[in-house]
Chain A
Amino acid sequence: MAKILLDVNVLLDAFLGRQENAKKLIDELVKTDHDLFITSSMILILDYFLNKYGADKKKFKDIFFSRFKIITTTGYEGLKAFEYKDTEKALIFLSFKRAVGKGIIITSDKSFEADGLKILTPEEALTSPEIFSNLSNELLPMLDLKKEYHYSIEEIDHVVLKNIAEAKYILGPEVKELEEKIAQYIGVKHCIGCSSGTEALVLSLRALAIKLKKQEYFDKADEIITTPFTFTATGDAILRSGATPVFVDIDLDTYTIDPEKIREYLSQNPKVVGIIPVHLYGHPANMDEIMEIAMENNLFVVEDVAQAFGSRWSGKKLGSIGTTGCFSFFPSKNLGGFGDGGMVSTNDDELAEISRMLIKHGGKDKYNVDHVGYNARLDTLQAAIILAKFDIIDDFNERRRKIAKLYTEGLKEIQWLKTPIEKEKAYHVFHQYTILLKDKNRDELQENLKQKGISTMVYYPYPLHKMKVFINNGMKVHGDLQNSEYAAKNVLSLPIEPLYDEEVIYKVIKGLSER
Chain B
Amino acid sequence: MKIKAKRTKDEFLIPLINELEDKEEILIEIKEEKVNMEKNFCKEISSLFSNFPIGKINWEKEWHKHLEEKYYG
How far does the Cβ of A28 sit from chain B's closest Cβ, in whole Å?
9
Q: Is the CB of A54 within 8 A of B45?
A: no
Which partner residue on chain B sits nearest A89 by CB separation?
Answer: B60
How far does the Cβ of B28 sit from chain A's closest Cβ, in whole Å?
21
Indicate if B73 sits at the interface (CB-CB under 8 A).
no
Indicate if A16 sits at the interface (CB-CB under 8 A).
yes
Indicate if A402 sits at the interface (CB-CB under 8 A).
no
A56 to chain B: which residues have CB within 8 Å? 48
Q: Is the CB of A16 within 8 A of B53?
A: yes
Q: Which of B9-17, B18-26, B33-41 contacts A (4 or more CB under 8 A)?
A: B33-41
Indicate if B8 sits at the interface (CB-CB under 8 A).
no
Q: Is the CB of A15 within 8 A of B45?
A: yes
Q: Is the CB of B45 within 8 A of A9?
A: no
Q: Is the CB of A53 within 8 A of B46?
A: no
- A interface: dominant SS: helix
Q: Is the CB of A60 within 8 A of B66?
A: no
Q: Is the CB of B41 within 8 A of A27?
A: yes
How far does the Cβ of A51 sit from chain B's closest Cβ, in whole Å?
10
B46 to chain A: which residues have CB within 8 Å? 15-17
User: Which of A18, A45, A48, A63 contacts B45 (CB under 8 A)?
Assistant: A63
Q: In the complex the two chains form, what is the Cα distance from A465 to B39 in whole Å?
A: 55
B39 to chain A: which residues have CB within 8 Å? 27, 31
User: Which of A9, A15, A23, A30 contacts B60 (CB under 8 A)?
Assistant: A9
Q: Is the CB of B41 within 8 A of A30?
A: yes
B49 to chain A: which residues have CB within 8 Å? 15-16, 50, 53-55
User: Which of B44, B48, B53, B59 contacts A9 (CB under 8 A)?
Assistant: B59
Which partner residue on chain B sits nearest A29 by CB separation?
Answer: B41
B66 to chain A: which residues have CB within 8 Å? 48
Q: Scan residues 48-73 of chain B and give those whose CB is less than 8 A from a CB of chain A.
A: 48-53, 56-57, 59-60, 62-63, 66
- B interface: dominant SS: loop
A16 to chain B: which residues have CB within 8 Å? 46, 49, 52-53
Q: In the complex the two chains form, what is the Cα distance from A60 to B51 in whole Å?
A: 15
B59 to chain A: which residues have CB within 8 Å? 8-9, 12-13, 45, 49
Q: Is the CB of B50 within 8 A of A64?
A: no
Q: Is the CB of A48 within 8 A of B38?
A: no
A8 to chain B: which residues have CB within 8 Å? 59
B48 to chain A: which residues have CB within 8 Å? 55-56, 59-60, 63
Interface string of A342-362 (1 = CB under 8 A from B): 000000000000000000000
How far does the Cβ of A17 sit from chain B's closest Cβ, in whole Å?
6
Q: Is the CB of B38 within 8 A of A67?
A: yes
Q: A14-B42, A26-B41, A30-B41 known; A54 and B56 CB under 8 Å?
A: no
Q: Is the CB of A26 within 8 A of B42?
A: yes
How far does the Cβ of B67 sit from chain A's closest Cβ, in whole Å?
9
Interface string of A49-80 (1 = CB under 8 A from B): 11001111001100110110000000000000
Q: A15-B49, A18-B56 are in contact. List 8 more A-B contacts (CB 8 A).
A: A18-B53, A26-B41, A49-B62, A54-B49, A54-B50, A55-B49, A63-B44, A67-B38
Sample (20) of A-B pairs whose CB atoms are under 8 Å apart: A8-B59, A9-B59, A9-B60, A12-B59, A15-B46, A17-B52, A27-B40, A30-B38, A30-B41, A45-B59, A48-B66, A53-B50, A53-B51, A54-B51, A55-B50, A59-B48, A63-B37, A63-B44, A66-B37, A109-B60
**9 pairs of A and B residues whose beta carbons are closest in the complex:** A54-B50, A56-B48, A30-B41, A23-B42, A53-B49, A30-B38, A55-B48, A15-B45, A55-B49
- Residues of chain A whose beta carbon lies under 8 Å from any beta carbon of chain B: 8-9, 12-18, 23, 26-27, 30-31, 45, 48-50, 53-56, 59-60, 63-64, 66-67, 109
